[in-house]
Structure 1
């Protein structure tokens, strides 16, 4: 995705992370409000572990997920505060430009 100089790069990463049906479906896996391990997300999605890990990393890079490691397990959950912050900034930008 081409970077736009007027938009915060973090917002661009956020939008880029959401621009995938697979990543959106993974994000919906958290609708129950519980954090999930990579293994749980593999099972829920039916995708391979490397595919899920790649998409989770994109969601983390976009400020959508938080990662936590406990022993050998890696847990993910939505970063609700940062998501809301990004949406607020995007709304502000859109009100000014469009």
Structure 2
């Protein structure tokens, strides 16, 4: 987790498609100002700021002031929790699909 205290569940934060798109945009850039992020969406600056606040509460986004501008950066560390959760199900489906494959092969014989 980042140096900031996580106030929101990571899964809650990534549940919204707009926030997932913000995460992708932040992953593709090093440091981006709010006005540039806002141009990527069909919503106002306030709505984008609200989504960024939720991501920040989950520890996924860090911000810093540069003059009058606020710049945002992705902190991918909390996504490790999502990856760990998904890896269990990846193993589950892999094992079950292998079993299904063996079963279907046996039926064909």
Query: Is the TM-score greater than 0.5?
Result: yes
Report the equivalent of 2:33.
37
Q: What per-residue deviation string (whole Å, max 9, x for no partner) do you get for residues 37-78 of structure 1? A: 110010112320000000000000011111111111101111
1:13 has 2:9 as partner: yes
Match of 1:65 among 61, 65, 79: 61
- Shift of the 53–28 alpha-carbon distance from structure 1 to 2, 3 Å rule, reads same
Q: What per-residue deviation string (whole Å, max 9, x for no partner) do you get for residues 14-50 of structure 1? A: 1111110111111111232321111001011232000
Deviation at 1:12, TM superposition (A): 5.9
CA RMSD of aligned residues (A): 2.6
Secondary structure at the aligned position of 1:46 is classed as: coil
- Shift of the 62–72 alpha-carbon distance from structure 1 to 2, 3 Å rule, reads same
Match of 2:75 among 66, 79, 83: 79
CA contact (8 A) 1:63 1:83 kept: no
CA contact (8 A) 2:52 2:61 kept: yes
C-alpha distance in structure 1 between counterparts of 2:79 and 2:54, whole Å: 14
Report the equivalent of 2:101.
none
CA contact (8 A) 1:64 1:78 kept: yes
Task: Tell me which structure has the larger Cα radius of gyration.
Answer: 2
Paired positions, count: 84
List alignment gaps of at least 5 residues for structure 2. 1-5, 93-109
Report the equivalent of 1:6.
none
